[in-house]
Structure 1
Amino acid sequence: MTVVVGYVPNPQGLAAVEAAIAEAERRGEKLVVVNSGVLGDYSGPSFADPKDLDALDAQLTARGLDHDVRQMTRGLAPADEILSVAAEVGADLIVIGVRKRSPLGKLVTGSTAQQVLLDAMCPVLAVKA
């Protein structure tokens, strides 16, 4: 029994983590936090600083939550990383943060949240900041 959350160091990512913590505690399940760069870009804003990940790990440990924090460096798209980890651990729930985007913005740049919502093999909880 596992909850997987896609984490980026921004308000949407933090909202997703808070919702995932609540779900994992409510369900008594393990929490797996997944962070990745965008297609191998490990200098971009979505790739968390090690200090952020250490702080998150400490927060989860202090809450007594069984957890795993993973920073993926396989060069895949973030949605593919989240879905891959979810499949690997047999996730019961995936939690993702979403932000408002125009239809044109979704068409041009794609959407991690949209891909996770469409391709996940388990329920997905989408959280706004």
Structure 2
Amino acid sequence: MYHVVVGIDEKESHVRRCIEAVVNLPGDPAEKHVTLIHSFSDNPSGASATQVHSVREAGEMLDEAGIDYDVEESSGDPADAIVSTADELDADLIVVGGRKRSPAGKALFGSVTQSVILGANRPVMATGVED
């Protein structure tokens, strides 16, 4: 079984690219398991990750591909949540969506993708985006 942790934000183009990358990984869909992780930065209504449209869309795409998945949620720093979830589950791969940002933008605001790449002790696939 090949276990992949996918960081899911609210941006649907990121989600589509991430799930397409997982679907296109070598191997039979039955040999893959995906954990979708969504980290809430602000959740005053107490929603669960399964209520987030992008998480539902990722699940639908995985269902269509015949890939088993589960959903995790956290609050706080998304990069920390993705890396710690992958560590706890001993995942084989982390998949995150990239975002076009200038070097100054990354320095001022940080980058979840960059933090995951630098903080993970396992392979990370960063998908491109069309923004």
TM-score tier after normalising by the smaller chain length: 0.7 to 0.9
Which of residues 27, 39, 42 is equivalent to 1:36?
Answer: 39
> Aligned residue for 1:104?
104
Closer, same or farther: CA 25–4 of 1 in aligned 2, 3 Å: farther
Closer, same or farther: CA 82–51 of 1 in aligned 2, 3 Å: closer
Superposition TM-score, scaled by structure 1 size: 0.80
> Contact 1:95–1:125 at 8 Å: present in 2 too?
yes
Q: Provide the rounded CA distance (Å) in 2 between the counterparts of 1:127 and 1:26.
A: 21
> Aligned residue for 1:2?
3
> Contact 2:23–2:65 at 8 Å: present in 1 too?
no
Identity of aligned residues (%): 35
1:86 maps onto 2:75 in alignment: no
**CA-atom RMSD in angstroms:** 2.4
Q: Provide the rounded CA distance (Å) in 2 between the counterparts of 1:67 and 1:49.
A: 12
1:78 to partner: Cα distance:
0.3
Q: What's the secondary structure of 1:3's corresponding residue?
A: strand
Amino acid at match of 2:81: E
> Aligned residue for 1:119?
119
Q: Provide the rounded CA distance (Å) in 2 between the counterparts of 1:123 and 1:82.
A: 13
Task: Report the count of equivalent residues.
Answer: 122
Amino acid at match of 2:115: Q
> Contact 1:21–1:31 at 8 Å: present in 2 too?
no
Closer, same or farther: CA 49–69 of 1 in aligned 2, 3 Å: closer
Closer, same or farther: CA 78–25 of 1 in aligned 2, 3 Å: farther
Unaligned runs of 5+ in 2: none
Q: Provide the rounded CA distance (Å) in 2 between the counterparts of 1:48 and 1:25.
A: 28
1:61 to partner: Cα distance:
2.9
Q: Provide the rounded CA distance (Å) in 2 between the counterparts of 1:15 and 1:128.
A: 7
Unaligned runs of 5+ in 1: none
